[in-house]
Structure 1
Amino acid sequence: MRFAMVGVLNTAFGYALFTILNLSGLPPQVALVISFSGGVLWNFMTHARLVFDTKGLGRLPFYFLSYLAVYAFNALSLEVLLSVGFQPIIAQGMIALPAAILAFILISRVLTDRFPWQQEV
Structure 2
Amino acid sequence: MRFAMVGVLNTAFGYALFSILNLSGLPPQVALVISFSGGVLWNFMTHARLVFDTKGLGRLPFYFLSYLAVYAFNALSLEGLLSLGFQPIIAQGMIALPAAILAFILISRVLTDRFPWQQEM
TM-score when scaled to structure 2? 0.94
Q: How far is 1:27 from its partner?
A: 0.1
How many angstroms apart in 2 are the aligned matches of 1:118 and 1:68? 18
Q: How far is 1:114 from its partner?
A: 2.8
How many angstroms apart in 2 are the aligned matches of 1:116 and 1:81? 35
Alpha carbons of 1:84 and 1:113: their partners in 2 closer, same or farther (altered >3 Å)?
Answer: same
How many angstroms apart in 1 are the aligned matches of 2:97 and 2:115? 18
How many angstroms apart in 1 are the aligned matches of 2:102 and 2:4? 13
Percent of residue pairs identical: 97
Question: For the Cα contact (< 8 Å) 2:113–2:119, is it kept in 1?
Answer: no
Q: How far is 1:10 from its partner?
A: 0.1
Alpha carbons of 1:47 and 1:116: their partners in 2 closer, same or farther (altered >3 Å)?
Answer: farther
**Structure 1: runs of 5+ lacking an equivalent:** none
Question: For the Cα contact (< 8 Å) 1:109–1:116, is it kept in 2?
Answer: no
Q: How far is 1:113 from its partner?
A: 1.8
Instruction: Kindly provide the CA deviation profile for residues 59-111 of structure 1, in whole angstroms up to 9, marking residues without a partner as x.
Output: 00000000000000000000000000000000000000000000000000100
Root-mean-square deviation (CA, aligned residues, Å) is 3.4
Q: How far is 1:31 from its partner?
A: 0.1
